[in-house]
Structure 1
Amino acid sequence: MDTKADIFYRELPKVELHAHLNGSVSFKTMEKLISRKPHLNIEHSMTAIRSGQQRTLEECFQVFKVVHQLVNTEEDILMVAKDVINEFAEDGVKYLELRSTPREETKTGLTKRRYIETVLEAIRQCQNEGVDIDVRFLVAVDRRNGSDVAMETVKLAEEFMLSTDGLVVGLDLSGDPTVGHGRDLLPALHRAKSSGLKLALHLSEKLFQVPSQLEESELLLSLPPDRIGHGTFLHPNMGGAQRLVDQVVKHNIPLELCLTSNIKGQTVSCYSKHHFQYWYQLGHPSVICTDDKGVFCTDLSQEYQLAASTFGLSHEDVWKLSVQAVDCTFAPDHVKHRLKRRWEDFKPHVLR
């Protein structure tokens, strides 16, 4: 990205709302992690999906397992989180909501509590170092771990929401969509919502192949969530159902859309068939995101540029998408107002 047209996307102030911490580890940071742990015999090809490569969704989850082997101490987490935050800031992201599942590692003494505390410490250190980005954290529930662990995670998230002066703003539901059923997680999700945590739920990532998947989407939409991750197969054009779309529209639930992730993960066949177009033409709140910028070898500027070139968006259209994303954040209203003032300050310089 070095032409005048490309520079627009770098200078564009951006909001990133769907970024998994461990999936966002860059090549540069991965080199540092690999050099620390040569005994693992991990190569870069095992941690990223490069240009022209594709993996099934199941294979993508195997990549994350490899990354987890490299990030298993407090020291690793602190370095990774700070690097990820700095890289988003360098890409022009002014507001970031990171998400990650708290993990415990008996070999290194890492606990779930210390995991969250270390990510929050990285956010504070970046703030104190003057990094030009506002960062918040979503505690993630991995659906593969079942209902008991989900409830335990929600309780941790509640505690940190109340004790971190607005750094922890919500709960993410993610993990392999083919494992378990959302109904088992409803008690934990209801508790999170009633406590004041915002809900960002991965929803309809896989084609509806069995009735239970459609039922799960309807159940989770009934909460309703505050944002939807991917939502790939919600609408009828992708095998979903109109009643699902009606629910999303009725509750005005924003979608977090990750183009390259869906193409490389083979849930969408090509950029021109991405469901971004469906929701954009509907005028529904849709936020362009990266998902896992390290694993999928992308960044947010590139994702905006891909959306613009694929769907014929003007710079003004792209600017509106970026501004609209501010309203979809889980930040309190006074932060949203401050961000919008920053966007207005940037506008004459970026849209020149």
Structure 2
Amino acid sequence: MESEADIFYRELPKVELHAHLNGSVSFQTIDKLLRRKPHLNIEHSMTAIDRGQRRTLDECFQVFKVIHQLVESEEDILMVATDVIKEFAADGVKYLELRSTPREEKNTGLTKNRYVETVLKSIQQCKEEEVDIDVRFLVSIDRRNGPQVAMETVKLAEDFMLSSDGLVVGLDLSGDPMVGHGRDLIPALQRAKNCGLKMSLHLSEVPSQLEESDLLLNLPPDRIGHGTFLHPEVGGSASLVDKVVKNNIPLELCLTSNLKGQTVPCYSKHHFKYWYQLGHPSVICTDDKGVFSTDLSQEYQLAASTFGLSREAVWKLSQQAIDYSFAPDAMKQQLRQKWVDLQPQVFK
């Protein structure tokens, strides 16, 4: 039986702005993929980090490699993306920005173009089925692949931004933060900015990235993923915080992801507290709901119980997230109206 609190968080209309497609694959969908591919000898425990478990960041990235083995054809991607979208909708998410790095797979003939087209097809199909969620897509640059591939990814994103009827709205920079240096990616990111793509950059995920964070904040990005080590209390600097505040750059904050990936020691020490007390735009997100065995309702509930947020404060957090999305203005207006319409029912 769900408690009254559980029901409040499930019914709370939510906005998810930091969701990696392959990291969001649920236990149920992994099950379907495993049944299709018994020859791979992959077990559930290799694709998710259960309650109470923790992994190093490096081990977290190993989990993605396993999932990529399971998701290698257009058929796989279509099923995975459709399931992910419907699961977010079932969790009360009304607007979702999915992100993923276009991949090619020689053995299935999958191309990067077809990869993106297939994700967009799943978004269209969910819309045609009248699933109660608006979905947009961010094309991801994996920093591990270097500057040349980054530039190719920007060009791909640019093409889809012009041809996808508004479904591709931006670019994400992610991948193992210990690999490469952001300075090498500046030309690609600058091109993305110049052509009108919105940008969400993973920043300061690990300590000792002050120089890189400083360079990337000069662009500046439209949103920051994680920003775990930006502020002075955890080894960042006041000048980095000043740049974030001056440019009013919202942060995408993922509590369980950071705890399980061991970049924060416990929920109460999560940097959500620092930015929230500062009154700075912050959005609660899942990052990888499948890998980290969570959902957005749970993340809101965690933030509220850890930091003593009232239901009114939680509602405000959820509502303000609309403003930080990359949705066009007309859609933001529709979403705001949806929140107004749903408020009496959620606070009944």
TM-score (norm 2): 0.99
C-alpha deviation, 1:56, in angstroms: 0.3
C-alpha deviation, 1:23, in angstroms: 0.2
The 5 A counterparts of 1:263-302 are: 263-302=259-298
Separation in 1, partners of 2:112, 2:157: 11
1:325 aligns with 2:321: yes
Amino acid aligned to 2:20: H
> Match of 2:95?
95
RMSD between superposed Cα atoms in Å = 0.6
C-alpha deviation, 1:138, in angstroms: 0.1
> Match of 1:19?
19
1:109 aligns with 2:105: no
Moved over 3 A (4+): none
1:225 aligns with 2:236: no
Separation in 2, partners of 1:330, 1:267: 27
Structure 2's unaligned 5+ residue stretches are none
C-alpha deviation, 1:151, in angstroms: 0.3
SS at match of 1:244: helix
C-alpha deviation, 1:292, in angstroms: 0.2
The 5 A counterparts of 1:197-208 are: 197-208=197-208
C-alpha deviation, 1:207, in angstroms: 1.2
Amino acid aligned to 1:351: F
Amino acid aligned to 2:283: V
1:257 aligns with 2:250: no
Amino acid aligned to 2:225: G
> Match of 1:78?
78
Amino acid aligned to 2:26: S
The 5 A counterparts of 1:144-223 are: 144-208=144-208, 213-223=209-219
> Match of 1:45?
45
SS at match of 2:220: coil
Aligned length: 348
C-alpha deviation, 1:164, in angstroms: 1.0
C-alpha deviation, 1:153, in angstroms: 0.4
Separation in 2, partners of 1:337, 1:237: 37
> Match of 2:69?
69
Amino acid aligned to 1:254: P
Amino acid aligned to 1:301: S
Cα pair 1:203 1:217 within 8 Å, conserved: yes
> Match of 1:242?
238
> Match of 1:60?
60
> Match of 2:310?
314
| Seq. identity, % | 78
Cα deviation per residue 1:93-140 (whole Å; 9 max; x = unaligned)?
A: 000000000000001100000000000000000000110000000000
Cα pair 1:316 1:351 within 8 Å, conserved: no
C-alpha deviation, 1:301, in angstroms: 0.1
